[in-house]
A = this chain, B = another copy of it.
Amino acid sequence: MAYQAAPLENLIEQLERLPSIGHKSASRLAFHLLRAPAEEAQALVEAITTARETIRECEVCCNLADSTRCPICSADGRDRHTVCVVEDPQDVGAFERTREYHGLYHVLHGTISPMEGIGPDKLRIRELLYRVANEDITEVIMATNPTVEGEATAMYIGKLLAPFNIRITRLAYGIPVGGDLEYADEITLRRSLEGRSALG
Contacts and interface: CB of A to CB of B under 8 A. Distances in A.
Contacts of A44: 14-15, 17-18, 48
26 contacts: A1-B71, A1-B75, A3-B92, A4-B64, A4-B71, A4-B89, A5-B55, A5-B65, A5-B66, A5-B70, A7-B51, A7-B55, A8-B66, A10-B47, A11-B51, A14-B43, A15-B44, A19-B28, A19-B32, A21-B29, A27-B93, A33-B48, A34-B52, A45-B45, A45-B48, A45-B49
A90 interface: yes
A40 interface: yes
Given A3-B93, A92-B3, A52 B33 contact: yes
A72 interface: yes
B7 A34 contact: no
Contacts of A188: none
A71 to B, nearest CB: 6
Contacts of A34: 51-52, 55, 64
A41 B52 CA distance: 8
Contacts of A41: 48, 52
B5 A71 contact: yes
How many monomers of this protein are in the complex?
2
Interface residues of A, number: 55
Contacts of A71: 1-5
A14 B47 contact: yes
Interface string A26-66: 01111111100010110111011111101100000000111
B64 A5 contact: yes
Contacts of A67: 5
B29 A19 contact: yes
